[in-house]
Amino acid sequence: MDTLAQLAHGFSVAFSPVNLLWCLLGTTLGTAIGVLPGLGPALTIALLLPITYQVAPEASFILFAGIYYGAMYGGSTTSILLNTPGESATIVTALEGNKMARSGRGGAALATSAIGSFVAGTIGTLGVAFLAPVVVKFALSFGPAEYFSLMVLAFITVSAVLGSSAVRGLSSLFVGFVIGMIGVDLQTGQPRFTFGLTELLDGVDVIIAAVGLFAVGETLYVASRRYAGKDEIVPLKGSLYMTAQEWARSWKAWIRGAFIGFPIGAMPAGGAEIPTFLSYAVEKKLSKHKEEFGTVGAIEGVAGPEAANNASAAGVLVPMLTLGLPTSATAAIMLSAFQSYGINPGPLLFTTQGNLVWGLIASLFIANVILVILNLPLIGLWVKLLKIPAPQLYAGILVFSTVGTYGISQSPIDLVVLYLLGAVGFLMRRFDFPTAPVIIGMILGPLAEAQFRRAMTISNGDWTVFFTHPLSLTLLILAFLGLLGPHIWGYIERRRLKGQEAVPGDA
Amino acid sequence: MLNRRAFLASTAAIGLAASVGPAFAADAPQLEIFVPAAPGGGWDQTARTMDQVLRTDKLISGSQITNVGGAGGTVGLPQFVSRYKGKGNTLMVGGMVMVGAIIANKSAVKLDQVTPIARLTGEFEALVVPAASPFKTVADFIAALKEDPTKVPVAGGSAGGSDHILFGLMAKTAGVDPTKISYVPFAGGGEALAALLGNQVAGGISGYGEFSEQVKAGTLRVLAVSSDKRQEGIDAPTLKESGIDVELFNWRGVFAPPDVSDEDKAAMVKMMEDMTKSAAWAEECKNRQWTSIPLTGEAYETFLKEDIARIEGILKDLGLA
């Protein structure tokens, strides 16, 4: 096997003591910045770009890859413990993860996310090593029409987080659409809902919205109910790590998450958020413990999305390494690092820079191992955070959210947006509107709109493109089945049962 | 402007890289570079490359880079004008994208409020088609465009950006109504490239660097480049040679704050002239596929006025301004 030989060579590059040290540094740094909302891997790598003048290409890419993977691990920690997502890809993790943390299973949530990240990251990296050419071909067959249909499929996931009332859930979704529309319209260059503020032209950062709605909103809500005696946090119940039952519930979710995350991550406009939504919806649909979703927290709802987000992180590397296509902000900055070495990433990268590419892939495997070793022992320490008395804990969350938000662009307007959305989040909690659909609307709405309008521009206004493209049609049928399938199935089932009852004594 | 943790982390990393900063030249000044964009983009890279080259050549002792990103530079520009007024040894990176953004965003602060110092680099654009496309020459492309502009969707960067502007200028020059063209904007070069490779669109326009590796691999074909003359190593004519009288560089340059003294201005112009002549600068430009197009003093000011007028005109024709 040619690939195996090259991979082995890659490991020999990555296993040099110096490169291992870079990998350790990158993963540690990545975990740290992943924990902070606002400071993401893209910004960190951009700030570290000047080191490309000082060190060998292999070393700096191993460092960057470590940061990239590390951030994916770190982002989930605050999502779970503090309901403050550090990255947009870990927003879904907060849904069940934080519920688990509140009911004493924070350790298990952190463990399933760390091990799930390891499993999915490894599957994803294997995919990069062995399947890259195949996957990229599939990914390129996605045009705007197919992406739009994928978004339609992703919208089904909203039904998984709607909560008790469809009207309330859909209202939240539409609030998300409006927030998502703020900024310059990509298709026409015209500002929408910016109220004449230049700072709003680039739109509202989804992290700020998530932190505002989840963390700040939650803090205000808890403060308002301080003496009502409700909403108590149980620091730890049972074992710190996962029980046998939790393992049994997690491992399938990891695998499914990895297989959802990797191909979507490899698509040029796939991103890391959509696979987490899809995985969450799938896990909720398949779970035998549906009653735990949204109440005490279901471990599948953490395991699946966490795996999906790490596998998609690996998927992003596929178009970057095979075609030189940057499909995320982090990948774009890594590409500019290639350029400062005079290397032009493109279709010939695997052949012209074999050492570098295979060294990078090998170091991804190593980064995964380091990360799981680094993160598992930390869980005990992290869970202690929950023992902090509520007033101090929530005050800390506020400080943390504020500092993190200011770190994104040093813009005071962002802080205003954060607290405005915090107030909105508080009111939504108070009147029992779910907040997760807002975020889904914010992410999917603008994407769906852009892809729809692109598809329309290309087809010259012909609506049938969504049905005549086979891939697009398949996705729409899946979406249709996902939405109506359970109802139809339930109806048939009831009819069958009724039929049996109708003829007593027939059995 | 860095977050403290990031700052500590980056200094730690650089320290680990065992880098010893270049020796400080006692009389060389300290430079402040203001980047009205987030770290990582073209302007930021320009600033960091300037810092690197100027320090190597001992023209400065060091520099402080400040990033204030957003809205094509129109968030940073007013801050630069108010915060650094009259201050010497301070440069803001900007370029054609900012000219477009100021017009499209109806920014209250305009480029005539800052002091132009030098144009530094440019990236010429390329018109490409997928390898399987029936278009072999610009003439084929223009003929199809003339027949029915809506049937020739072209992918590129955001609406009103340099790619869109070039497509508008090409259509207008060829006698096609710019409001009728089918331009498909994508958020980043990567996505536009994917649409081309997947045969989703008829053609693509972007900086040549975005396409160069695909062209080498034979998956894309260049029909023409937007530079003033043919480029070494690129097997394609200029737009002018192909009968479309349009020339466009997505240029980048530097500006000083308003009200700087003539002495300070002259010093900064001199520094930029020295930098663009240095071997280190030439090397960096080559690596990054930037074309060095230095222009300073009055020539730069005239160029700037003309370019603003041209961009304003085409954005109006495209219905964006």
Average pLDDT of the segment spanning A331-345: 77
A414 chain-B contacts, CB cut-off 8 A:
none
Q: Taking 70 as the threshold, does the pLDDT of residue A501 lie above it? A: no
CA distance B192 to B195: 5
B17 chain-A contacts, CB cut-off 8 A:
51, 54-55
B185 chain-A contacts, CB cut-off 8 A:
186-187, 454
- DSSP codes of every residue in B194-205: HHHHTT-SSEEE
Is residue B158, in this structure, part of any structural domain at all?
yes
Same domain, yes or no: B214 and B263: no
Tell whether A410 is within 8 A of chain B (Cβ): yes
Q: Taking 90 as the threshold, does the pLDDT of residue A3 lie above it? A: no
Is residue B231, in this structure, part of any structural domain at all?
no
**For A148-200, what is each residue's pLDDT tens digit?**
998 888 887 777 666 677 888 888 999 999 999 998 887 777 888 888 887 78
Residue B179, domain extent: 123-225
Same domain, yes or no: B93 and B52: yes
- DSSP codes of every residue in A195-210: TT-GGGTT---HHHHH
Is residue B234, in this structure, part of any structural domain at all?
no
CA distance B318 to B162: 13
Is residue B295, in this structure, part of any structural domain at all?
yes
Q: Taking 50 as the threshold, does the pLDDT of residue A116 lie above it? A: yes
Is residue B8, in this structure, part of any structural domain at all?
yes
Interchain contact, A143 vs B200, CB within 8 Å? yes
pLDDT-based confidence at residue A507 (cuts at 50, 70, 90): very low
Q: Taking 70 as the threshold, does the pLDDT of residue A236 lie above it? A: no
**CA dihedral sign, ordered A126, A132, A136, A138:** negative
> How many percent of chain A have pLDDT more than 90?
13
Same domain, yes or no: B200 and B96: no
CA distance B292 to B102: 25
The per-residue pLDDT for A452 is: 92
For residue A351, the chain B residue with the least C-alpha distance is B217
Same domain, yes or no: B107 and B128: no
CB A51, CB A59: distance < 8 Å: no
Same domain, yes or no: B43 and B93: yes
Same domain, yes or no: B59 and B139: no
How many contacts does A have with B, using Cβ atoms within 8 A? 191
Same domain, yes or no: B26 and B100: yes
> How many percent of chain A have pLDDT more than 70?
94
**For A44-83, what is each residue's pLDDT tens digit?**
887 787 777 778 888 888 888 888 888 888 888 888 888 8
Tell whether A352 is within 8 A of chain B (Cβ): no
Residue B213 sits in a domain whose CATH number is 3.40.190.10
For residue B220, the chain A residue with the least C-alpha distance is A347
> What is the enclosing helix (H) or strand (E) of B116?
strand B115-130
Same domain, yes or no: B8 and B96: yes
Average pLDDT of the segment spanning A408-425: 88
For A265, what's the count of Cα atoms within 13 Å in the CB-facing half-sphere?
35
Scanning B120-149 for CB atoms below 8 A from A yields: none
Q: Name the average pLDDT for chain A.
A: 83
Is residue B264, in this structure, part of any structural domain at all?
yes
In this structure, which amino acid lies at residue A109?
A: A
**For B280-305, what is each residue's pLDDT tens digit?**
888 888 877 788 888 888 888 888 88
- What does the angle CA B179 – CA B180 – CA B181 come to, to the nearest 5 degrees? 100
Which two structure tokens, joined as six digits, stand for A242? 């996962």
Q: Output the pTM of the full model.
A: 0.79
Rounded to the nearest 10 degrees, the angle between the axes of helix A166-181 and helix A436-458 is 60
Instruction: Show which of B178, B208, B225 is a domain's final residue.
Output: B225
Same domain, yes or no: B142 and B215: yes
Q: Taking 50 as the threshold, does the pLDDT of residue B177 lie above it? A: yes
> What is the enclosing helix (H) or strand (E) of A33?
helix A17-35
Q: How many Å is the maximal CA-CA distance in chain B?
A: 66
Of A44, A54, A327, the CB nearest to B6: A44
Is residue B239, in this structure, part of any structural domain at all?
no
Q: Give the residue among A133, A154, A100, A427 at the shortest CA–CA distance from A270.
A: A154
Instruction: Show which of B173, B207, B225 is a domain's final residue.
Output: B225
CA distance A428 to A172: 9
CA distance A76 to A73: 6
What is the SS3 assignment for A294?
coil
Interchain contact, B14 vs A46, CB within 8 Å? no
**For B50-96, what is each residue's pLDDT tens digit?**
888 888 888 788 788 887 777 778 888 888 888 888 888 888 998 88
**For B137-162, what is each residue's pLDDT tens digit?**
999 999 999 999 888 999 988 888 88
CB atoms within 10 A of CB A501: 9
Fill in the DSSP letter of residue A491: H
Tokens 């894309």, residue located: B220
Average pLDDT of the segment spanning A91-100: 89
Tokens 């029980």, residue located: A243
pLDDT-based confidence at residue A416 (cuts at 50, 70, 90): very high
- In a mutational test of the B interface, the residue from A21, A43, A45, A47 whose CB has the highest number of chain B CBs within 10 Å is A47
CA distance A320 to A316: 7
Tokens 């026409």, residue located: A188
Which two structure tokens, joined as six digits, stand for B304? 């700037």
Same domain, yes or no: B97 and B132: no
A142 chain-B contacts, CB cut-off 8 A:
198
**For A254-311, what is each residue's pLDDT tens digit?**
999 999 999 888 887 777 888 998 999 889 888 888 888 888 889 999 999 999 999 9
pLDDT-based confidence at residue B189 (cuts at 50, 70, 90): low
The per-residue pLDDT for A485 is: 73
Is residue B282, in this structure, part of any structural domain at all?
yes
Q: Taking 50 as the threshold, does the pLDDT of residue A31 lie above it? A: yes
The per-residue pLDDT for A252 is: 92
Same domain, yes or no: B281 and B293: yes
Is residue B30 classed exposed, middle or buried when 0-12, 13-18 and 19+ CB atoms within 10 A define those classes? exposed
The per-residue pLDDT for A377 is: 86
Tell whether B75 is within 8 A of chain A (Cβ): yes
Our count of domains for chain B comes to 2
CA distance B216 to A344: 11
- In a mutational test of the B interface, the residue from A187, A325, A336 whose CB has the highest number of chain B CBs within 10 Å is A325
Same domain, yes or no: B93 and B105: yes
The per-residue pLDDT for A151 is: 87
- DSSP codes of every residue in B239-273: TTTTT-----EEEEEEEEPTT--HHHHHHHHHHHH
Tell whether B15 is within 8 A of chain A (Cβ): no
Residue B29 sits in a domain whose CATH number is 3.40.190.150
Q: Taking 90 as the threshold, does the pLDDT of residue B221 lie above it? A: yes
Interchain contact, A323 vs B320, CB within 8 Å? no
Of A51, A54, A458, the CB nearest to B153: A458
